[in-house]
Amino acid sequence: MVEREKVSEKEVSIGLRAHLGEKLYFQIAYDNPRNYLYETERARKQAPKTRGKTVRK
């Protein structure tokens, strides 16, 4: 039997957003995935390099 969470994922997200503020929450939810998951120029510059090849995290 699976134990139910006391707080839903949606409630955690709302609480986190209220605690961090809109600007920081937006950065985490929108900017960071775009920069680090979609291979933007900024992400390529920040990625560590080994033997001339970019290493993905």
Question: Within a domain: residue 20?
Answer: yes
Which range of residues forms the domain containing residue 25?
9-54
Q: What is the pTM of this model?
A: 0.49
Question: Within a domain: residue 4?
Answer: no
Banded model confidence at residue 31, pLDDT cuts 50, 70, 90: confident
Domain count, the chain: 1
pLDDT tens string 2-29: 567 788 989 999 999 999 999 999 888 8
Q: In this predicted structure, what is the pLDDT of residue 16?
A: 92
Question: Within a domain: residue 34?
Answer: yes
E-strand ranges in the chain read: 49-50, 53-54
Question: Within a domain: residue 2?
Answer: no
Instruction: Tell me how far CA of residue 56 lies from CA of 14, 24, 25, 40, 47, in angstroms.
Output: 31, 25, 25, 13, 7
Question: Within a domain: residue 28?
Answer: yes
Instruction: Tell me how far CA of residue 14 lies from CA of 25, 26, 27, 50, in angstroms.
Output: 10, 12, 15, 40
Question: Within a domain: residue 18?
Answer: yes
Question: Within a domain: residue 1?
Answer: no
Question: Within a domain: residue 26?
Answer: yes
pLDDT tens string 34-47: 877 776 666 566 66
